[in-house]
Chains A and B, each alone.
Chain A
Amino acid sequence: MTEIAEPMQAAAPMSTSRHTGEAAMKRLRQRYAAERRFKIYGILAITFACAMLAILMFTLLKGGVSAFWQTEMRLEILIDPATIDPQGTGTPAGWDRGAFQTLVNDALYRDFPEVSGRLEKRDLRGLVSPVAGVFLGKVLDKNPALVGQTVELWLPTSDGINQIVKGGIDRDLPEAQRPINDQQLAWFSQLEQRGDVRTTFNSTFFTSSDSNYPELAGLLGAAVGTLLTMLVTVAISLPIGVAAAVYLEEFAPKNKLTDLIEVNINNLAAVPSIVFGLLGLAVFLNFFGMPRSAPLVGGLVLGLLVLPTIIIASRAALKAVPPSIREAALGMGASRLQAITHHVLPLAMPGIMTGTIIGMAHAVGETAPLLMIGMNAFVTQPPTGLLDSSSVLPVQIFIWADKPERGFVELTSAAILVLLAFLITMNGAAIWLRKKFERRW
């Protein structure tokens, strides 16, 4: 040691007092206060995130659960052949479907014979759904023999009544702030006292498609649209993604080109989704002339969108398979492709599937790119093919969120609940898959 080590000012006994003396203790208390503050910031951050999720879920549940129930009223409807079949054809083909609503209204007038006058009658009609005739039509389609008879039917009430019964709108509000006036409320109370009102499970929500009337609107069309779109997305992105991952991870030489591909994939994963929508619009719709609003185009766009996710996840899964497996296969005289298809890919499969499911869950919730290619179509029938006009769940939510009626606010929340349930199931499946096949080498 060439340097002269001078004795420290702080010799051993003094250092003891330095760390245990009064000043040191005071400083220590301050330091611990800072420590506590810092920890509290962390807890606050976590609490904020959790609280946001809680508020979000609470809002949705509070607003959405009631949409699974629908208020109905009992009416005795005289199915007058003269009204619904003015030409007297005697077959369902000759029915005037607009007249079904007239029958419903007539039944209502008979229930309240004291009501007269045009305005009062209009108010009375406001009790029952303006599309109750559609439900009547469905019953008659099933059983045409009912024509000419009087049938007792449970039909949906109007949205205003429905909201009042389910508590979405307060009965005690001033009249001007309710969609239902005092007179209507009084008539409705009579119905309630007679036992002619009930609340049932809203099966329409799951069996019908979009409508301008909340009582008639359902998710089926959007759900089928989502299903078709996702089929195309998986069919595009899974094979291409896995193939790309296999090439980049197992075959690709390390050169400028593969570097470029790699950088490109990472960047593509962070490109705003709406830009993919513009790509779809410019290339698939305008250049190739594919139809607007079609699940095929939506699936293609989303396929390209999730492709980077799947490639990245698949590469990670392939990388996790130890080289010894490949060497063992190659040592047995297998070709590289054989080693990969027979040994590496099966072992990487759970990881690839997990990545794919997570990518799909992402795609299921995508809205913006689909709006660009017109998947906000008003679709009253579920699409039957890949080229039909279609909507998807998140776009349906977006459309309903724009509508002012109270009934649609409720439906929006309910649709979100369905979508979230779906997404959580998918993510749960991915986590389960990861846990089940997790392997430590």
Chain B
Amino acid sequence: MMDTTTMTMPTETTATQPVKMSAKTVKVFYGEKRALHGVNVDIYQNEVLAMIGPSGCGKSTFLRTLNRMNDTIDICRVEGQILLDGEDIYDPRLDVVQLRARVGMVFQKPNPFPKSIYENVIYGPKLHGLATRKDEFDAIVEQSLKRAGLWNEVKDRLHEPGTGLSGGQQQRLCIARAVAVSPEVILMDEPCSALDPIATAHIEELIDELRESFTIAIVTHNMQQAARVSQRTAFFHLGDLVEVGPTEEIFTNPRDERTQGYITGRYG
């Protein structure tokens, strides 16, 4: 599968794929403080967009605006437009629960529910009524865990608590849980930052496979990771989107000197 990726020819992908999500002058405020100063970026269908930048640059904040997870923070306010298939997701008529079913999220720290592996996976499908019969649920669990590359490791202990897995397994369980809802977009907020290198490699492989069926936006601290998994990369700095473009270009020939400074390690 690795050889079918378009890492070497990123521009081709972006050109052929329709725009899945689009941010237009997105500004985010925490109380009086402005965390994002007007971000414009498109995310294309079936691509992996990586967001990099020094900590506190607003990349996680931006990611969380994409499925309105910022709604849970009282003082947070979002201006501008974010379109999902051309619809503004901040439109009051649009339903946030439905939005999150379409735009799933995987968090920095693995957060399996204190339930069995099986129940973790069917949690979303049950909520959204994606299945009703036991065999349907069984099928969803098997498929989702297979897609998350966890099936072989856990198929004999599906009814043991998900919190008993190792860190890497937990994170893959969380990915399986997100995948089970059949979202259109999956947002990943530094999904590997709490994991060891082997588990990280596992997840990175997985991301590449998931791209076949989903659109993925991933925030990462790790520039090598961005280079490995993404087709396009966006560089954030102090609440600004400095530049976005094919990953190859950003890493080899950045246009902005701030980007250059960051990827050459002058700060970060």
Interface residues of A (CB under 8 A from B): 1-12, 14-16, 18-20, 23-24, 27-28, 31-32
For B25, the chain A residues whose CB sits under 8 A away are none
Question: For the complex, is B147 an interface residue (Cβ under 8 Å from A)?
Answer: yes
For A8, the chain B residues whose CB sits under 8 A away are 143, 147, 179, 182, 213
Q: CB < 8 Å: which of B46, B152, B183, B212 contacts A15?
A: B183
For B46, the chain A residues whose CB sits under 8 A away are 12
Q: How far is the CA of A5 from the CA of B143 in the complex (A)?
A: 8
Report B109-147 CB contacts with A as 1/0, cut-off 8 Å: 000000000000000000111100000000100010011
Chain B: residues with Cβ within 8 Å of the partner, total of 30
A19 to chain B, nearest CB (A): 5
A-B pairs, 4 with minimum CB distance: A15-B182, A10-B182, A27-B129, A19-B101
Cβ-defined contact, A12 with B213, below 8 A: yes
Q: Specify the chain A residue showing the minimal Cβ separation from B212.
A: A7
Cβ-defined contact, A24 with B146, below 8 A: no
Question: For the complex, is B95 an interface residue (Cβ under 8 Å from A)?
Answer: yes
Known: A28-B95, A31-B97. A19 touches B206 (CB 8 A): no
Cβ-defined contact, A9 with B129, below 8 A: no
Q: Specify the chain B residue showing the minimal Cβ separation from A35.
A: B97
Compute the total of residue contacts between A and B using a CB distance below 8 Å: 65
Cβ-defined contact, B128 with A19, below 8 A: yes
Q: CB < 8 Å: which of B95, B143, B184 contacts A16?
A: B184
Cβ-defined contact, A20 with B128, below 8 A: no
Known: A16-B102, A24-B98, A31-B97. A5 touches B128 (CB 8 A): no
Q: Specify the chain B residue showing the minimal Cβ separation from A7.
A: B213
Cβ-defined contact, A18 with B206, below 8 A: no
Q: Specify the chain B residue showing the minimal Cβ separation from A8.
A: B143
B26-67 interface (Cβ within 8 A of A): 45-46
Cβ-defined contact, B214 with A12, below 8 A: yes
Question: For the complex, is B205 an interface residue (Cβ under 8 Å from A)?
Answer: yes
Question: For the complex, is B209 an interface residue (Cβ under 8 Å from A)?
Answer: yes
Q: CB < 8 Å: which of B149, B183, B213 contacts A3?
A: B149
Cβ-defined contact, A3 with B128, below 8 A: no
Q: How far is the CA of A20 from the CA of B182 in the complex (A)?
A: 12
Cβ-defined contact, A27 with B149, below 8 A: no
For A6, the chain B residues whose CB sits under 8 A away are 143, 146
Cβ-defined contact, A1 with B206, below 8 A: yes
Q: CB < 8 Å: which of A1, A23, A28 contacts B209?
A: A1
Cβ-defined contact, B146 with A3, below 8 A: yes
